[in-house]
Amino acid sequence: MLDSDKDADNSGGQTARDERKKLREAQRAEQESVAAPTTDADSQAAIAIVEPATIQAGITEEGQKLDAVPVFVTPGVTNIENNTIINNVTNNTVNNTVINNNITNVVVQQQIDNRTILNVDNQIIIRNDDRPRLRRDSEESYYEELSRGRVRETIVRPNGSRLVTVYDRYGDIIQRSRIDRDGEEYLMVYAPEPEADRPPRIRDIGYELPPMRLRIPVRDYIIDTSSEPDRDYYDFLAEPPVEQVERVYSIDEVKYSARLRDKVRRIDLDTITFATGSAEVPLAQAKTLRKVANAISEVLKKDQGETFLIEGHTDAVGKDQPNLVLSDQRAESVAELLTDVYGIPPENLVTQGYGERFLKVKTQVAEQQNRRVTIRRVTPLVRPVAQK
């Protein structure tokens, strides 16, 4: 049920299951003495308030306009003590990153359009660049170089609004805000730049956390749209994380960590059943997204800075790498559909493909339930909730 458990099972099997069971039992008394969050603010009780001036600095800092679209570097070898780049990953080159006395091997395997396939410790992951999707139908976009190797992108929309994103040198989002034509700012993402001793974000930092013990009914944690078509999706999406959030995480940290994503509830869009090898959403099935899209719209009416993660998945038929790309394309297809058909702003949606890594039905044969897309509201993980 939990993606973090599936991840652990994939790597450790029964031994990993037994170890997690012991850890959960050890946590039981401590966790039961702590109330589950009832609001997003409750879930972030341990997070320090960020001063508005600090957040505004990313928007107001004077930058040097760039003549060309920047090309971000792929995370390579980083000196943890002073956070300086020693070397970068290039195609077909293996670099070693020393983290807590462990070695992380990173290989760039392939570049496919706006997607980069990486092999990290023999686990393939995909890094997608969503800038083309965000720039669709824009009037103009431009980049500015900021201090500390950061880059600021501004996308100007026909309605006069601006989408402003600050990236670090790797293309990870540090800050994203939408500024409407009247100058009102809606903060979507604010992930403070990492301290010198924080591992690179390409790592699954969720492994630093104990296994999650779900303390709410499964029905209140996962919705299958096919079995619960009359469910109030708005109330479900508005619910807070199921456990405390230790700090504000970056979008990429959430994408790469099943343990972090498990903190928030999910809707499995199992009414969208992709054909084998296809990322196209049939028109008849696109209509089944209406209730979920309406719920997302209602959430955005209360707070235009909300962020939703669209996850793509495949079954286990075929090779890992093509499945990973296909799953990422499926997530992007649903995001584009939500924007084009239902009017959800593209910047409120982020996408990530996981291939066959998190099978819903554990089987190696063709299984329609595994060819699916999932939606999670990840706002409490990627933004201080006191700032909107």
pLDDT in tens, 116-141: 998 887 788 999 999 999 999 999 99
Quick check: 115 and 328 in contact, CB under 8 A?
A: yes
Closest CA to 267 of 383, 379, 372, 380: 372
What range defines the domain where residue 184 resides? 3-382
Which pLDDT value is given to residue 142?
A: 96
Which pLDDT value is given to residue 383?
A: 94
State the Rg of the chain over Cα. Answer: 20
- The CATH number for 236's domain is 3.30.1330.60
Indicate whether 80 belongs to any domain. Answer: yes
pTM of the model: 0.89
Closest CA to 304 of 204, 186, 202: 186
Q: What is the DSSP string of 235-298?
A: HHHTSPPSS---SPPPHHHHHT-HHHHTTS-EEE-TT--PPTT--PPPHHHHGGGHHHHHHHHH
Which pLDDT value is given to residue 29?
A: 65
Given pLDDT bands bounded at 50, 70 and 90, which one contains residue 190?
very high
Indicate whether 51 belongs to any domain. Answer: yes
Which pLDDT value is given to residue 98?
A: 33
Higher pLDDT, 287 or 255: 255
How many CB atoms are located within 10 Å of the residue 286 CB? 19
Q: What is the DSSP string of 334-384?
A: HHHHHHHTT---GGGEEEEE-TTTT-SS--SS--GGGS-EEEEE-HHHHS-
Number of domains the chain contains: 1
Higher pLDDT, 170 or 218: 218
Which pLDDT value is given to residue 44?
A: 92
Higher pLDDT, 279 or 24: 279
What is d(CA 317, CA 370) in angstroms, rounded to the nearest whole number?
Answer: 10
What does the mean pLDDT of the chain come to? 84
Which pLDDT value is given to residue 20?
A: 74
Average pLDDT over residues 302-308: 96
Average pLDDT over residues 169-195: 88
Indicate whether 112 belongs to any domain. Answer: yes
Query: Is 80 a residue whose pLDDT tops 50?
Result: no
Given pLDDT bands bounded at 50, 70 and 90, which one contains residue 332?
very high
Indicate whether 387 belongs to any domain. Answer: no
Which pLDDT value is given to residue 73?
A: 78
What is d(CA 94, CA 216) in angstroms, rounded to the nearest whole number?
Answer: 43
Which pLDDT value is given to residue 120?
A: 82
DSSP code, position 156: E
Indicate whether 388 belongs to any domain. Answer: no
What is d(CA 176, CA 58) in angstroms, rounded to the nearest whole number?
Answer: 9
Name the 3-class secondary structure at 131. Answer: helix
Residue 318 token pair: 């075929």
Given pLDDT bands bounded at 50, 70 and 90, which one contains residue 188?
very high
Indicate whether 150 belongs to any domain. Answer: yes
15-19, 282-286, 309-313 — which is least confidently predicted?
A: 15-19
Indicate whether 236 belongs to any domain. Answer: yes
Residue 113 buriedness (CB in 10 A; 0-12 / 13-18 / 19+): exposed
Given pLDDT bands bounded at 50, 70 and 90, which one contains residue 310?
very high
Given pLDDT bands bounded at 50, 70 and 90, which one contains residue 160?
very high
Which pLDDT value is given to residue 195?
A: 57
Which pLDDT value is given to residue 198?
A: 54
Indicate whether 65 belongs to any domain. Answer: yes
Which stretch of DSSP H or E encloses residue 188?
Answer: strand 185-190
